[in-house]
Amino acid sequence: DVVWGLIAALFIANFMLLAMNIPMVGMFVRVLLVPPRILMPIVAMVSFVGIYGISGSSFDLLVMVVFGLLGWVLRKLDVPLVPIILGVLLGNQMEANLRRALTISDGEWGILFASPLALVLWAIAIIGFILPIVVGGVMRRKMRGGLAD
């Protein structure tokens, strides 16, 4: 009963948010027109006040600044941020599930490759990891070849 009540509440809340936000689309578009040199300090100050208001700890402010600077440096170095964010968000859950699988199999790593479904998922993961590297190398070679002509 509690779960279905929560699902119903979330369903109703989504429709209420939709009804309230459709008239505000124009305002959201105008916010996008604000120059970044004005918008960024406002966002930073709201973030500082929010973090300090929730925790009351200056250490949390320091953590926020360090991760903000880390994100800025990674962006300047053209390092994609999405894989890093996914790793941070999903890493603990992945480790817990790996530990659970190894506990169930008495420490046998072969369980990760035992079923045909597992092998297909491993193949998809490996292809998804290697394919962008190969395609990027081919594109770089084509670009160099095009520049040499």
pLDDT of res. 1: 76
**What pTM does this model have?**
0.52
Token pair for 123: 């193949």
Residue 89 confidence (pLDDT): 92
Per-residue 3-state assignment (H helix, E strand, C coil) for 104-145: HCCCCHHHHHCCHHHHHHHHHHHHHHHHHHHHHHHHHHHHHH
Q: Which residues of the chain have pLDDT under 50?
A: none
Residues near 119 by beta carbon (within 8 Å), at least 6 away in sequence: 113
Q: What is the pLDDT of residues 44-77, one digit of tens each?
A: 999 999 999 998 999 999 999 999 999 889 889 9
